[in-house]
Chains A and B, each alone.
Chain A
Amino acid sequence: MKSISDARPGAPRQGAQPVEERRDETGAGNTGANRRRAWTRALRRHALPIAAIIVIGYLVLAPLVRLQLLALADGGAGYARGFGTADIARTITTTLLLGLGSLVIGLVFGAVLAWYSIQLPPRARWMATLPILPIVVPPVASMIGWGLLLAPNSGTINRFIRSLPFYSGGDTGPIDVFTVPWIVFLTALGLTSFVYVFLRAGLLRVNYELVEAGRTAGDRPLGVFFRILLPIVRPSLIYGGAVALLLGLGQFTAPLLLGTIKNVKVLTTEVYFFANAGLADYGAAAAVASPLLLAGFGIVALQRVLLGEEQRFVTDGGKTSRYSARRNPVAVIVIGLFSGTVALLPLLALIAASLSPFWTGQIDVSTWSLDNFRELWNTPSAVSAVETSLIASGASVLVSLPIGYVLADILHRRSYDTRIRAIIDILISLPLGVPAVVFGAGFLFTYTAPPFVLYGTPWVLVVVYVTLMLPFATRMQLAARMSLGDSYQEAARVSGAGPLRTHLQVVIPMIRGSLGGSAALIFVLLTHEFAASLLVRSTRTQVMGTTLYDLWLNVSYPLVAAMGLVMCLVTAAGVILAVRLGGSKALESL
């Protein structure tokens, strides 16, 4: 996730408008006519951004607004039903636990990892990308991997602990992955990567002379860490924490996959079950989604405020900062251990299970074969799910990129009205703030009803995916445009090229690396997509994630594992492509 707004918000308005205003003052006689003319001109100049607002406004807001109207209908009957269930208090508590747990565990682990990552010895510097790996593994797959490892009866790790000589417990446990503490812990572990990315970037931006200045001024290393380093990276700290909190609150995959078995409920799973039950109760779904929606809006607002005061934390000096924290070999162990546990362990469980004829948690290499993959290959629904995933994701990439290009261009151009650009900026930020399952419920309701009845066709997936990917499609291109600057375009224009030719022959070729990178990134994120897909799928349009969920419900673990691995492989191909095209930065923008 990149920062919500790279656009400079306070840009002065230029161009025709001030001139018009001045004319207003002089021609006092027919002020009204002049003002009307000025308005028409401003409107004509802003035709493109206004059209953009209408289109993405519909895509983003229609699902949310229609859902909310439904919840409020009949004097808020939806709210009464949504919050009228017997265990709603426990659901809310669990949701809060998930959010706060993610915040605390994510911040502590993320800070420790980030601190060690900048102390890596030169030869081990590549390891700094390892803690990002958990983001790359599809969450559905890694949660299933954890399930295989930590299930109370058959979990491999539980079996191992029980086999230890001094263990004196019963036939199950000691770890029960289907309970709240473990769901919270595993979720937080996955979200640690996000905090890590923000904090590491923050620490790397710090001009190390600031730390040295503290030491020469007479402060101890620990004093410098708390009095100087942490306050300087405060924006990254707050932002990383807020993102972890939001993602924790909106977490859907782990509670659904692991929690349903022991009736652990959170708001997101309530949204899903209300919207997806036999008699879909969208009103109730919308009602329970409201707290999450508010948290999402809050985060987007917070981000804009934080960005406003960010210049206070710009620490660039004359030289590029040369970070010279003392090397620490412990860093290799800490980072290796975390990444190995969090990313590799569930993958290994998937591999072992997918090769075994049946899954009991015991690993018996002699029985291993590729039979499960063969069976998967012969299951038409599985094959068509992979196909649908690839086609829908690919098509969405093709639609997203041009939309993102136009939006980035609007946000980049300072001659447009600041307010109009701010509206667009907020609109494209919303899909980051609102949990995908909430969007999914909104999409399901919106696209099963007129004017656009798309449910049951692959098109609904494309529309949903394009909406969800708006922030990613726009941000990366905007960042590329900003680092490109305006001078190349200006050079083309004064050389006689028109706007279209300038875009086609100058801008696009120059940002093609970022274009390729964002294409690959979007593709990866979409092949991961689970929550929204689960809601808008139909029997004819299944994707990898939803098929995986169905297999999981049917308790055919080896097949589940095989499907999970296929998903990981598709992702891996996308990630390699992303790194090739967009550089290692592409990973961080996840």
Chain B
Amino acid sequence: MFRIENLTKTFGSGAGRFTAIDGLNLDIREGELVVLLGQSGCGKTTALRCVAGLESADEGVISFGDTVVFDSRRGVDVPPEKRDLGMVFQSYALWPHRTVRQNIGYPLKVRKLTKELKEEKWVEQAAELVDCGALLDRYPHQLSGGQQQRVALARGLVSRPRLVLMDEPLSNLDALLRVRVRNELHELHQRLGFAGLYVTHDQSEAMALGDRVAVMNKGRIEQIGTPQDVFERPETSYVANFVGITNVLDLAREDGRWRLKAAPGEPLDLATAADGLGAECQVRFRQSDAVIVPAPTAESRLRFQATVVDTVYVGRGYDVSVSLGDVRLNARADAAVAAGLDQGKTVTVEVPWHACVWYGADGLRVEAGPVESDLVSP
């Protein structure tokens, strides 16, 4: 078990003072890969570097099992080389003056794991693991980006460290290669079962790789859970936005009926919403769930009228951006419907209830109750 408690780190002083990590708490279980997900500047890389010992936090405790590697109160700060880590860098950081073999063998050599290096052939094994067995005598500049990435991974894993840290390791690869290496990395983790901390800003990477995903914002973890949890039930408005639930409608309750703030006069076909909501709330839904229909269906759904702004063909259908008052929303239409969607036309948009996520005025998610069909207004 790896534990980060109450970690805080500030950079600069005076007006340039900036809190990178603000009371971070995180546990990583043995064999688990935890992904720190967040926008650039949210503190995820700083957190990783604190765990690595490359950066010293201002406050907090970091422990690897029974060993405390950092404790601000007791003045413990174990240097990185004594933390038994593997690390994969964004730039790969392969040493240009060493061959692939020397690069991968370095962690064994400096840790004096001579037997593993010479007799048990850990370098060769690690290289085989990432499909680079044939590249051992080349120099890094003779490798392609994907190969460099694999070698960096092999170097991070070769000494079988307690914890593997990965700092956006796929972000320098092109899109197709990134998906491939991502899947290979997933397979590798399933096979080897190492404990890992993985930093990325790419939500698809986080979903694919993480046993658990921690979404960070302003130096704190906003939500941590399985990818399914985070993707389907984002606890805060910020997380929802970050995982792609980008359509937002603000609502206010007047005379017991919910009205859209953006267009109060607009007929809003809203059966019910959670009772737990106060006088104001926010509903969020994905573009893929907002469908333009030729005529209102009979089912109970979030339903509203909007004006077409633009239509873009995206293969297997159309992305339609519509406006509702001064709110811009993104919806979807199939080819038959999209044919008649001229700019300025008024259309009906429907979102199934299960696809709606509700947030109270404080930005926290509210569980919406089951919808009763008889409450649907015409």
Contact = CB atoms under 8 A, between A and B. Distances in A.
Interface of A: 207, 209-210, 212-221, 223, 227-228, 231-232, 234, 311-319
B81 A219 contact: yes
Contacts of B83: 216
14 contacts: A207-B91, A207-B93, A209-B89, A209-B90, A209-B93, A210-B96, A212-B54, A213-B89, A216-B53, A216-B80, A217-B107, A220-B110, A312-B96, A317-B89
B165 A216 contact: yes
B75 to A, nearest CB: 17
B172 A216 contact: no
A317 B149 CA distance: 11
B107 A218 contact: yes
Given A207-B93, A213-B89, 12 more contacts: A212-B54, A212-B89, A216-B52, A216-B83, A217-B106, A220-B79, A221-B79, A231-B97, A311-B141, A312-B96, A318-B90, A319-B90
Interface of B: 52-54, 79-87, 89-93, 95-97, 106-107, 110-111, 139, 141, 155, 159, 165, 171-172
Contacts of B85: 216, 218
A209 B97 CA distance: 15
A387 B90 CA distance: 58
A414 to B, nearest CB: 22
Contacts of B159: 217-218
B123 to A, nearest CB: 13
A312 B143 CA distance: 12
Contacts of A311: 141
B97 A317 contact: no
Contacts of A215: 53-54, 79-81
Given A219-B81, A231-B97, A209 B91 contact: yes
Contacts of B87: 212-213, 216-217
Contact of A312 (B52, B107, B139): B139
A210 B103 CA distance: 11
A226 B53 CA distance: 21
- CB-CB nearest 6 A-B residue pairs: A317-B91, A213-B93, A209-B93, A216-B87, A217-B107, A318-B172
A355 B128 CA distance: 77
B79 A232 contact: no
Contacts of B79: 215, 220-221
A313 B97 contact: yes
Contact of B95 (A221, A228, A319): A228
B52 to A, nearest CB: 5
Contacts of A315: 96
A535 B329 CA distance: 82
A216 B135 CA distance: 23
A535 B354 CA distance: 93
Contact of B96 (A313, A318, A319): A313
Given A214-B106, A317-B90, A232 B54 contact: no
A221 to B, nearest CB: 8
Contacts of B165: 216
Given A216-B54, A217-B107, A317-B89, A234 B97 contact: yes
A389 B110 CA distance: 60
A315 B91 CA distance: 9
Contacts of A214: 95, 106, 110
Contacts of A313: 96-97
Contacts of B111: 218
A215 B95 CA distance: 13
A519 to B, nearest CB: 37
A232 B81 CA distance: 20
Nearest to A207: B91
A317 B110 contact: no
Contacts of A228: 95
A319 B169 CA distance: 12
Contacts of A232: 95-97
Contacts of A231: 95, 97
B273 to A, nearest CB: 45
Contact of A218 (B54, B81, B96): B81
A216 B86 contact: yes
B33 to A, nearest CB: 18
Nearest to A232: B97
Contacts of A213: 87, 89, 93, 95, 155
Given A312-B141, A314-B141, A212 B93 contact: yes
B28 to A, nearest CB: 16
A221 B84 CA distance: 16
Nearest to B110: A219
A222 to B, nearest CB: 11
Nearest to B88: A213
Contacts of A218: 81-82, 84-85, 107, 110-111, 159
B93 A210 contact: yes
Given A219-B110, A311-B141, A317 B93 contact: yes
A227 B109 CA distance: 12
Nearest to A212: B54
A92 B141 CA distance: 44
Nearest to B55: A324
B97 A216 contact: no
Contacts of B96: 210, 232, 312-315
B116 to A, nearest CB: 13
A554 to B, nearest CB: 55
